[in-house]
Amino acid sequence: YAGNYGITFKTAKAVLGDVNEDGMLDARDASTVLQEYANVSSGCESSFSETQKKLANYNKDGYVDAKDASLILQEYARIQSEA
């Protein structure tokens, strides 16, 4: 539809760690990653999309876990200290 009317969309580049995809890396992202890890670790099915899994894997080791949540929170703290 959009293509028929010359409408284009800009898409923002995904930010590693920004699992809620709001364009900001923050404590909510770290909390969401930690919650996902806890759920999956206890046998629940992942609620993350493939994109969210890629964004959540902050240390790029192939796993979404507490390490990723911690690193996201550390990066958020670093960003905030520079603001």
pLDDT tens digits for range 22-76: 999 999 999 999 999 999 999 999 999 999 999 999 999 999 999 999 999 999 9
77 and 69 Cβ atoms separated by less than 8 Å = no
For the entire predicted model, the pTM comes to 0.83
Distance (Å) of CA 11 to CA 7, 8, 21, 61: 13, 10, 12, 27
